[in-house]
């Protein structure tokens, strides 16, 4: 399998800093991502270790998911990385004062929780419902929970709509006298 995370599951970093377009440039970016995902992220441990763990986890999940999507054997390096991270102490869900479940913990424990969820998803029958968006240039992976299991877009509001607009314009160009 070619592409990001295909072989060694090493982040695509460079000696002089993160690659262009890298979203996780600092441990603060990892914490920001965890909070945006709805986790209550508290103080972190080793900042260098956190950034490395987040990048390795991301690359491993991507490589394993793409392997599942393509129907290929799962890369051994990616399995090892994911399983190793999933074995660390994880954040535990708690019931908040409003009665809703929430996940609180330090960033490393939250990444471990993410790793465990990835193991449970990719190791289940639901892994067959993981799709790559059919939008031009979109690399988003999503879980197709539609009844028919034929969803093609990460979002109808974004990629699906762009496809529909492009198809409409193409039809209109082929038959200029018709609306």
Query: How confident is the model over 89-132, as pLDDT tens digits?
Result: 999 999 988 998 888 899 999 999 999 999 999 999 999 999 98
Strand partners, 42: 106
Minimum mean pLDDT among 6-15, 38-47, 167-176: which range? 6-15
Cβ atoms of residues 63 and 6 within 8 Å: yes
In 3-state terms the chain splits into helix, strand, coil percentages (rounded to 5) of: 45, 10, 40
Token pair, residue 172, equals 């209109």
**Of 71, 46, 72, 121, nearest to 113 (Cα)?**
121
Tens of pLDDT, residue by residue over 55-88, are 999 999 999 999 998 889 999 999 999 999 999 9
Cα-based distances in Å from 5 to 30, 60, 74, 91, 125: 19, 6, 11, 26, 23
Which is more confidently placed, 132 or 22? 132
Own/partner pairs, 28-35, CB within 8 angstroms, 24+ separation: 30/54, 30/107, 30/111, 31/107, 34/107, 34/110, 34/111
Tens of pLDDT, residue by residue over 27-57, are 888 998 999 988 988 766 667 789 999 999 9
pLDDT at 161 over 80: no
């Amino acid at each position: 399998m070619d592409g990001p995370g295909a072989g060694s599951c090493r982040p695509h970093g460079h000696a002089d800093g993160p690659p262009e377009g890298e979203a996780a440039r600092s441990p603060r970016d990892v914490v920001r991502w965890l909070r945006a995902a709805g986790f209550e992220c508290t103080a972190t441990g080793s900042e260098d270790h956190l950034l490395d763990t987040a990048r390795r986890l991301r690359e491993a999940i991507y490589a394993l998911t793409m392997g599942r999507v393509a129907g290929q054997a799962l890369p051994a390096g990616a399995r090892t990385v994911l399983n190793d991270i999933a074995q660390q102490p994880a954040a535990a869900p708690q019931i908040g004062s409003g009665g809703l479940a929430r996940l609180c913990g330090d960033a490393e424990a939250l990444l471990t929780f993410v790793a465990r969820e990835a193991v449970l998803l990719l190791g289940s029958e639901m892994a067959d419902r993981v799709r790559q968006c059919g939008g031009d240039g979109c690399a988003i992976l999503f879980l197709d929970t539609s009844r028919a299991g034929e969803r093609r877009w990460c979002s109808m509001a974004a990629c699906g709509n762009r496809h529909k607009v492009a198809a409409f314009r193409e039809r209109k160009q082929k038959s200029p006298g018709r609306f």
